[in-house]
Amino acid sequence: MNEPPLRELVPAVIGVLVRRGADFASAEDAVQEALIRALDTWPDDPPRDPKAWLVAVAWRRFLDAARADTARAGRELAVHAEPPAGTAPAADDTLRLYFLCAHPTLPPAAAVALTLRAVGGLTTRQIAAAHLVPDATMAQRISRAKRRIAGLPLDQPGDLATVLRVLYLVFNEGYGGDVDLAAEAIRLTRQLVALTDEPEVTGLLALMLLHHARRASRTGPDGRLIPLGEQDRSRWDTALIAEGVMILQATLARDRLGEYQAQAAIAALHADARTAAETDWVQIVEWYDELLALTGSPVVRLNRAVAVGEADGPRAGLAALTGVDPDLPRHTAVTAYLRERAGDLEQAADLYADAARVATSVPERNHLTREAARIRQLLRA
């Protein structure tokens, strides 16, 4: 059985249970149990109407749990009898679930986990494995998130910008366990595109596709990090690039520029260059200027300095670093790179070593350590 189409039904089924009177947390738990049962039974006995089957099984699970809860023994259920399981209602609350699971009151990690469960249909075990944490840790994270949003109505207006940030966080988690979170984020964003008519949603989808297209070339067989300029571009996924560029062009034509569209434009310029030397750095700097005007982000300012260094020379890049917070992640690594290109090799070697000591991942630390060693070898030659 193909798992993603099954998972795509989950948010709509949760919405049905909530409309019938279940609270969100109980509905989500019941649908998860129904999903597990479906994964076990459907390969041998697939239902004629998968959504109706999930609704019927999840609703029975909810009723059983509610009746067994002695603390609520005297409480009337919103619906006393189980509705017939012929066909599932057509109403789809998926967009509202996106808003609820990415509620601004939730910490980012909790919003990511809850989105993957309630909207993505992943099990707690799958989410835990993808984040490389114990099942119990992820279960607690999800439970706390559900408690925090308990009582919030499903029809409460949501913040699309928060939803997009959560989906981008999911995308950047990458891969772990048996779930590819980058691919899962793309699937969920495609779903969101179908539910909305906002340029930033399609801008985010284009950005994800363009980044995902380079995935196979980002690391070597031994797990080494390969910088963009050194990647084997023949390994880039040209179909994903073409789709991302097509989506981006249609989105930009609507003339409602946002930060994800600007980031996607930068990614498209990288993807369009047949070699690193052919990269249109001047235009990339212009897009960074747009992005900086939209966000004012120090990280954008740091990345812009790299682009300036490529477009106008390393000394110009170093000048563009003026005023950028030196405590930012990658600031020391960027300075080292620009110093090396400017010919200040001794300082560059020291800076690469400093950057390695504060690197936030093992592949990045190893890469920066090798860069420091490479330059020191050049100095000894």
* pLDDT at residue 350, rounded to an integer: 97
Please determine, for residue 146, whether its predicted confidence score (pLDDT) is greater than 50.
yes
* pLDDT at residue 3, rounded to an integer: 66
Within its chain, how far is the Cα of 378 from the centroid? 40
Q: How does 153-184 read in b/e, with b if 16+ C-beta sit within 10 Å?
A: eeeeebebebbbbbbbbbbebeebeebbbbeb
* pLDDT at residue 157, rounded to an integer: 63
- Nearest-10 crossing angle of helices 181-195, 199-212: 160
Q: What pTM was estimated for this model as a whole?
A: 0.84
* Confidence label for 158 from pLDDT (cuts 50, 70 and 90): confident
3-class secondary-structure state, position 23: coil
Cβ–Cβ under 8 Å, residues 250 and 201: no
Which residues are registered as beta bridge partners of 219? 225
136's CB contacts (< 8 A; 6+ apart) are none
pLDDT digits (tens, 9 = 90+) for 190-225: 999 998 999 999 999 999 999 999 999 999 988 899
Average predicted confidence (pLDDT) for the chain: 88
What's the burial of 22, exposed, middle or buried (CB within 10 Å: 0-12/13-18/19+)? buried
* pLDDT at residue 323, rounded to an integer: 86
Please determine, for residue 166, whether its predicted confidence score (pLDDT) is greater than 50.
yes
Percent of residues, the chain, with pLDDT higher than 90: 60
Q: What is the dihedral sign for C-alpha 277, 282, 283, 284?
A: positive
* pLDDT at residue 72, rounded to an integer: 46
pLDDT digits (tens, 9 = 90+) for 66-100: 877 644 444 444 444 444 444 444 445 788 888 88
210's CB contacts (< 8 A; 6+ apart) are 240, 241, 244, 245, 248, 264, 267, 268, 270, 271
What whole-number distance in Å separates Cα of residue 10 and Cα of residue 30? 11
Please determine, for residue 360, whether its predicted confidence score (pLDDT) is greater than 50.
yes
3-state secondary structure 129-142: HHCCCCHHHHHHHH
* pLDDT at residue 79, rounded to an integer: 43
What whole-number distance in Å separates Cα of residue 381 and Cα of residue 379? 6
Please determine, for residue 55, whether its predicted confidence score (pLDDT) is greater than 60.
yes
Q: Which residue has the higher pLDDT, 291 or 95?
A: 291
Q: Which residue has the higher pLDDT, 289 or 45?
A: 289
Cα–Cα distances in Å, from 118 out to 10, 40, 142? 7, 19, 10
